[in-house]
Amino acid sequence: MKEELQKLESALAHDLNNFLQVIMGNLELLKRRREFVPEIVEAALGATRNAATLGDRLLALGRLESYEARPLELNRFLRDLTELLEHTVGESVALEFDLAPKLGPVLVDPRALQLALLELATNAREAMGTGGRLVLRSAAASADRVLLEVADNGRGMAQTSHGTFEPLNVRAGHGKGRALGLHLVEFCMHLAGGRMELDSAPGAGTRVRLYLPTTEK
């Protein structure tokens, strides 16, 4: 766990440093111009917002060093996250729920599950661009597992020959941020004793299935 956590923190810190370099570069350019240039200011503000988001992710990861699973009513938890998820995906994306009734509680650290869902919502927003639909579904998967599926109708993503996403050491190219987000989700599922499945293809949207342990043994 510690080694994987360090890899994720290192990847996030690398991206955070990149955003800080963008901010510094734009501020230096603005200083030399000695005039207000909206495009330069907006570029700096955008990088600042991204840096703040990465900072939040680093803090959330750090808190997971003390992972504390507890019984959680999944459907209620998802409903309570509605406002935060809507803020994450933006006004142009429709957020929908398809929740199975009478599900037993899952055994998970709420902080880890929230981090995983926010990562998936961020990925979905980036994949859908100016609009789309994000659906969260819950269902009983087995006697000791509950399924939480997060599906979007965005552009999808290519998978490797093994049916998985790109490795964590990918540093360049389209989709790097989405791959890092998926690694964060997979790490959260590993902590929970659950698993993640990915179903995606270019132009076909993305479905991520999270299998969460229940309190039933």
Looking at residue 170, what is its pLDDT? 37
* CATH level 2 (architecture), domain 69-213: 2-Layer Sandwich (3.30)
pLDDT along the chain (217 residues), means of 10: 64 69 80 81 79 71 75 95 88 92 92 88 83 92 93 78 45 49 84 89 88 84
| Token representation of residue 5 | 């956590």
Q: For residues 57 and 59, give the distance between their C-alpha atoms in angstroms, rounded to a whole number.
A: 5
**What confidence score (pLDDT) does residue 23 get?**
81
- Predicted confidence at residue 157, as pLDDT, reads 76
Residue 104 DSSP class? P
- For residue 90, the model assigns a pLDDT of 84
Which DSSP string do the residues of 153-205 spell out, in sequence order? -S------TTS----TT--SSTTHHHHHHHHHHHHHHHHHT-EEEEEE-TTS-
Q: What is the CA radius of gyration of the chain?
A: 19
Rounded distance between C-alpha atoms, residue 125 and residue 114, angstroms: 16
Domain ranges of the chain: 2-65, 69-213
